[in-house]
Structure 1
Amino acid sequence: MYHILRIILYKLWVVSTFTLFSSFIVFWFYGFVTAFAVFILGISGILYSAQDLLLYYPNDPPDSRVFVLQPSNYKLPYESIKIKNKDGFKIHMFLIKQTSNSNHKPTMVFFHGNAGNMGQRLSNVSGFYHKLNINILMVEYRGYGLSEGAPNERGLYIDAQSAIDYIMQRTDVDRTKIIVFGRSLGGAVAIDLVSRLEYRNKIWALVVENTFTSIPDMAQIILKWNCLTWLPQFCHKNKYMSLKKIGQILTPTLVICGSNDALVPPAMAQELYVRCGAVCKKLAVLPGGGHDDTWTCRDYYSSIQQFLVNVPPLPEDIIPFFDDVSKDPTSRNTLVHTV
């Protein structure tokens, strides 16, 4: 509770001070009842706005918005790419391709968690590259790293759609073997993407790791306030209703969680697995894995590899879709590459 109040007062001290001052002025002229109403409305607005500050940490550590570690530091071949999303913001991405037969390898679209930038996940991505023998498209949401804008739920969904649209336009990757991966907050973004009607039959596999069922559920667990049980959904600025959306997913799905995750309870992974609408699905609970280090567990990469081996190919009737996308000149107008 103290940590939350400290963040609110530090980030929104001007608004907080204005609210308190306004309440005193109203009390002087109109009395206690009106002043109390103004105070409650002001505090409600502050708490609603502060939800972004409590969820998104693009400045942790402090240099995350100006310094992004490059894949070359791990001796990985890559392209540094910027695309313009539907809102007009430039989104930064790394495309790391295998040096041989990259167009015959699966490609993973990687969505990271709520803090830092994608460069801080390169150790994990290096493992995907070498141990799974796949290509990886790393996506940096708006307001993170070198991407423009500020993070919000709708915006992150749009960034994910822009990234998948981009990779579907590439002719140097196998567009019938696209893996969508998300960790923690990235898992919620991945679930939203794959649950959408326009994408659910075009993604080969979905992998989510240490992902929550929803933000309202996480708020109850972290804050431990009984009153949150009765709080209406519209009071939550960010919802990320993954448990509700995952029932609409038909894509083969792997749900991974660390048994020692102290932030997102492993029971949430079980709920997501049970609710998932896919026929081909698997739950992998890795002993000793924490929220941020499950990828260091012994069976981590082998669990993903075994799952992918059993994923069936996409139906042949969607193959013409990829040809239509690659021939559409208008879909490339918003792309900006920086190699």
Structure 2
Amino acid sequence: MNGLSLSELCCLFCCPPCPNRIAAKLAFLPPEPTYSLISDEAGSKHSLHLTDRAEWQYTQRELDCIEVFMTRTSKGNRISCMFARCSPNAKFTILFSHGNAVDLGQMSSFYIGLGTRINCNIFSYDYSGYGPSSGRPSEKNLYADIDAAWQALRMRYGISPQNVILYGQSIGTVPTIDLAARYEVGAVILHSPLMSGMRVAFPETKRTWFFDAFPSIDKVPKITSPVLVIHGTEDEVIDFQHGLAIYEKCPRKVEPLWVEGAGHNDVELYGQYLERLKQFINEELATI
């Protein structure tokens, strides 16, 4: 998320823009696409083509475990979806909503590594305007995107809600919280969550204004699933206080992971990250 210029601050105070304008200024940084989907002659099946910028770290064998396809959202956009079969005996599939400056190509190696280590399959999608997904990034599209991904995961693969873990990272916590507030699932993981757009831009904000974007703090109390919150204590993009506030509002929170000294983009590099995920998924969810 970017800081706001003086003129933009003045606009917010003097003439508050619509939520989509705030969302666009604060959150969306789609990269140049790092992959493409190649369709077969019938146009019914796609294969994944990664560019060098995707920085794929595995062999063709792992690449063959990834299935890709397009699905349509309620807003009329076609979004790219990816299903990584990381573990043949996985109980859970993670529906992963990624951060704001990456696409599925860049995340593909991470998904394979993460899923293999925590014994989960991973399903993810690119937001409207990211990768080959059509449309433009916006708050409304964000919610429609995860709805379409959720329906595709449920209908295409027949996975039950109790076997789905919703995982949102940074801006990805926004659609994750919105979906989790409407559906009960196996669990929810919120990695560097934000309370709302205004609270990121103006840390002293104490309430949700009518023009605020991403009002996640008001939706969290409606989540009925177990929630694990993860946040770096030195997060320079979304202050640690956001994670604390989100955690306090969760009705079924579990022990959080506060990564001492971690920033916004390096939490995964700390050993306790994988340890906490393994404990939560393989041990705690079995007893909840």
- Which TM-score band applies after superposition, normalised by the shorter structure? 0.7 to 0.9
Query: Which amino acid is the alignment partner of residue 279 of structure 2?
Result: Q
Distance 1:71 1:80 in 2: 18
1:109 aligned to 86, 90, 95, which one?
A: 95
CA positional deviation for 1:262: 1.2
1:97 is matched with which residue: 70, 85, 103?
85
Give the secondary structure class of the aligned counterpart of 2:119. coil
Partner of 1:74: 58
Q: Is the 8 A contact 1:282 1:307 kept in 2?
A: no
1:91-240 paired onto structure 2 within 5 Å: 91-98=79-86, 100-101=88-89, 104-171=90-157, 173=159, 176-196=162-182, 199-200=183-184, 203-221=185-203, 233-236=209-212, 238=213, 240=214
Code of the residue aligned with 2:73 in structure 1: it is N
Counterpart of 1:234, as a letter, is F
Cα distance in 2 for partners of 1:258, 1:303 equals 14
Aligned-residue Cα RMSD (Å) equals 3.1
TM-score (norm 2): 0.80
Match runs of 1:1-339 below 5 Å:
4-5=4-5, 44=15, 50-60=21-31, 63-64=32-33, 74-75=58-59, 76=62, 77-98=65-86, 100-101=88-89, 104-171=90-157, 173=159, 176-196=162-182, 199-200=183-184, 203-221=185-203, 233-236=209-212, 238=213, 240-278=214-252, 280-308=253-281, 309-312=283-286
Given that 1:91 and 1:142 are in contact with CA atoms closer than 8 Å, whether structure 2 keeps it comes out as: yes
Distance 1:65 1:71 in 2: 9
> Following TM superposition, by how much is the alpha carbon of 1:242 offset from its aligned partner in structure 2, in angstroms?
1.4
Kindly tell me: are residues 56 and 66 of structure 1, through their superposed partners in 2, closer, same or farther at Cα, counting changes over 3 Å? farther
- Identity of matched residues, %: 24
User: Quick one: distance in 1 between partners of 2:85 and 2:226?
Assistant: 23
CA distance in 2, matches of 1:128, 1:153: 28
* 3-state SS of paired residue (2:251): coil
Q: Relative to structure 1, is the Cα distance of residues 284 and 83 closer, same or farther in structure 2, using a 3 angstrom cutoff?
A: same
Q: Name the structure where helix makes up a greater proportion of residues.
A: 1
Residue identity opposite 2:22 in structure 1? Q
Q: TM-score, normalising length from structure 1?
A: 0.69
Distance 1:71 1:99, change over 3 A: farther
Separation of aligned partners in 2, 1:246 and 1:147: 28
Unaligned 5+ segments in structure 1 are 9-39, 315-339
Cα offsets for 1:81-105 (capped at 9, x unmatched): 111111221110110013634xx53
Structure index of larger Rg: 1
